[in-house]
Amino acid sequence: MDLSYTPEQLEFRQEVRAWIADAMPAEMKKHAEDGANFAQSETMEWHKILYAKGWAAPNWPEEVGGTGWDIGQRSIFQEECVRAGTPQLSPFGLSMVGPLIIQYGTDEQKKRFLPKILSGEEIWCQGYSEPNAGSDLANLQLRADKDGDDYILNGQKTWTTYAQYADWIFVLCRTNNEGKKQEGISFLLADIHNTEGIDVKPFLTTGGTLAFSETWFKDARVPQANRVGPEDGGWTMAKALLGHERTGIGGIAESARSLRQAKQIAQRTAVGTETLFDDPDFRRRIARKEMRLRAIEMLNLRTLAAAQVGHAPGAESSILKIVGTEMQQEATELCMDAMGQNAMGWLDSPEEALPSHQQAIASQFNYLRAATIYGGSNEIQKNIIAKHVLRLPTA
């Protein structure tokens, strides 16, 4: 199996890198260089720039607005976006519900939803987790009871990322209490703004951002026509979405960026007459992280090479999720260590107290404490690996 990039792929990388450098607005570039958090308006501005170029949905088929790129090109494009520090587009429409509708949706659903997801005209969020159904997602209790041509939804979702900006939410809900828990779940699309009884309440993370919300449903009426796939058949689609989510959650390019940032901070941090980067112990820590990241990159390339010949992500996505999220946490921790007492700074620290390029590091460090939990906790991923990779017997 050849895991190296071809000359054509390297040429494609240069094309993407040059285009991003030319397409990013100056203020957006400055925010990227500073490592600042992008406002929702900037994220949507970048979405529209990509849409105009035809690059908003690299993983969609060409006939519905995709790029026609292969797996390798899509991976390169993602790496170059992270390298340039571009705003990260919301995955919920483009990478999750969009592909699901493409695969399982009716012709009417495809015509209604796909163009507005692609253009960014409608923003989506995910309604999976509940207060008592996180890693044990099959335990979800959001009720969907039939009433005429509609479902009546009652219950709660939590960790609904950026739901305060979303126009639509896709939810897993319980339509049947008989049989196994997984067999009574359906997949519904709900219009947040035009459905009475849906209430979104953002809350602060420990990173000081309003990244998550609680979403409440009280007698919310959703048309049965908005169900994707068969009734009680939502678990199959949920697993498909999570498999692809876990490969992306690995965040290899993000970890590489954090390690570069740790080096930059160390080179600017005075320790006596030298810098922190002159300390052999600190350089040794960086080297160990870089070697581990390279090993993870090789694992990711193996997964991409397998996908290139038609093998969908399987249990190996759980391996990538574990090692990738642990690496993200370790890389941001290294940045914090390099900053020393400045790591106590925050998003609103004055420039004279903390350089702008360091103000978001503590927030990112805090946010990524959840990386080993969201997308299915790493403990759950280890169970999947034991069962499907190591083939260990279960109790």
Catalytic positions are 245
Residue 154 zone, left/alpha/beta (φ > 0; ψ -120 to 50; rest):
beta
| CA 48 distance to own-chain centroid | 19
- What the block records as the tokens of 64 is 């519905």
In angstroms, the Cα distances linking 138 to 177, 230, 345 are 11, 17, 40
Sequential DSSP letters for 248-268: HHT-HHHHHHHHHHHHHHHHH
d(CA 283, CA 133): 42
Q: What is the torsion angle, in degrees rounded to the nearest 10, for the CA atoms of residue 47, residue 49, residue 50 and residue 54?
A: 130
CB 190 within 8 A of CB 222: yes
Backbone φ and ψ of 359, nearest 5°: -70, -25
d(CA 58, CA 47): 12
d(CA 319, CA 385): 7
- What the block records as the tokens of 229 is 């796939």
